[in-house]
Amino acid sequence: MNSTMSALVYEAPLQMNMRQVPIPVIQPDEALIRVAYSGICGSELSGYEGKNSLRQPPLIMGHEFSGHIEATGSAVDRPELKVGAAVTANPLVSCRQCRYCLSGKQHLCPKRKLLGAHLPGSNAEFVAIRADALFLIPPELPLTMAALVEPAACALHAAAIATPAPDEQGLVVGAGPIGLMVIQALADRGISQVFCIDLNAERLAMAEKLGAIPGTFESLASQPVDIVVDAVGASATRQGCGHVVRAGGRIVWIGLHESDTALPVNDFIRREITTYGSFAYTPIDFENALQALAQRRITLEDAWTQIEPLENGTACYEKLLHGAPISKYWLTPKE
């Protein structure tokens, strides 16, 4: 095996270049994965623009991926992790020792590290990950769709926090990949009616195809909903959520587009609005997302996705920044 690999390296705001870099040397508890598909996440777009403090150049981004085991470390004691096995991985690496890790909330570990942010990610031919983070991909799940487990887990986590009841109405703000999967996750929990708001007509049409009802903040202000999930995270969307949630309702913040937003807290108090932050997912959410995708309870239609060579990654980032009507780009290294 060669000692170097091709990788798409973020080197400065709005600058990514293909480089030859060393193949990761795995630790005894890690596995080396030959990447099949690496998805582009919305949080990586802000990183590419230089607006995300977690992502500092030089960096190989990418944390939504699928691939095959190339090698395992000497301390890996999972017989099912054979060379060649198809896998995906939970990219949040926690300490495994703190109160959060020991109570099943590894995503809140204060020492957590994210692949593609704190650690080299999957926009490359190979990626190293701790072996206990790996999940075998069921044979009925295509490798492309298996690269959606991570964002699907985010959607399931948000839906669980919202605790929807069958007789309630919901609103999802943003019809990007997370928003589209939140719509499906809410429906999977039996909610009766879900609205969706998005400025991109093509993406709003995707949400409508999933059963969501297109709307606007203005149209919904006169018919408030029980649950609002903001999958954008801009000041305008966060403030809009407060206008369309009913008294006694819940808002779930999942979008991270902007770090600070002024909100009418006194109004929230007087109307007893409950707000939740929804960050990432638990290991159980990740396992449930894998099963939901395999059973097609959550999916993205083929027409909404596109596979591109890794070397076209920069162009894909640019297209997404400028409103491309594609829900998910998957980057694939050359064979």
CA distances from 28 to 2, 32, 116, 220, 332 (A): 20, 11, 21, 54, 27
DSSP-H helix ranges across the chain: 42-48, 99-102, 143-146, 149-162, 177-188, 201-209, 217-220, 235-244, 265-270, 283-294, 313-321
Q: What is the pLDDT of residue 323?
A: 87
SS3 assignment, position 8:
strand
Q: What is the pLDDT of residue 53?
A: 84
Say what percent of the chain tops pLDDT 90.
94
Q: Which of 199, 197, 206, 264 is closest to 225 using CA atoms?
A: 197
Question: Is 172 within 8 Å of 212 (Cβ atoms)?
Answer: yes
pLDDT, tens digit, 9 for 90 and up, residues 208-225: 999 999 999 999 999 999
pLDDT, tens digit, 9 for 90 and up, residues 155-177: 999 999 999 999 999 999 999 99
Question: Is 76 within 8 Å of 29 (Cβ atoms)?
Answer: yes
Q: What is the pLDDT of residue 2?
A: 85
Please, what is the end-to-end C-alpha distance for the chain in angstroms? 13
Where do the structural domains in the chain lie, given as residue ranges? 4-148+300-332, 155-277
Radius of gyration from C-alpha coordinates of the chain = 20
- Range 108-124 average pLDDT: 97
- CATH number (3.40.1160.10, 3.40.50.720, 3.40.50.150, 2.60.40.1730) of 155-277 reads 3.40.50.720
Task: Tell me 162's DSSP state.
Answer: H
Return mean pLDDT, the chain. 96
Q: Is residue 139 over pLDDT 80?
A: yes
Report pTM: 0.95
CA distances from 73 to 25, 26, 29, 204 (A): 10, 6, 5, 45
Q: What is the pLDDT of residue 335?
A: 60
Q: What is the pLDDT of residue 141?
A: 98
Question: Is 81 within 8 Å of 168 (Cβ atoms)?
Answer: no
Q: What is the dihedral of CA 6, 3, 92, 183, to 10 degrees?
A: 30
Q: Is residue 313 over pLDDT 90?
A: yes
pLDDT, tens digit, 9 for 90 and up, residues 50-89: 988 889 999 999 999 999 999 999 999 999 999 999 999 9
Structure tokens at 46: 């802000």
Q: Which CATH architecture has domain 4-148+300-332?
A: Alpha-Beta Complex (3.90)
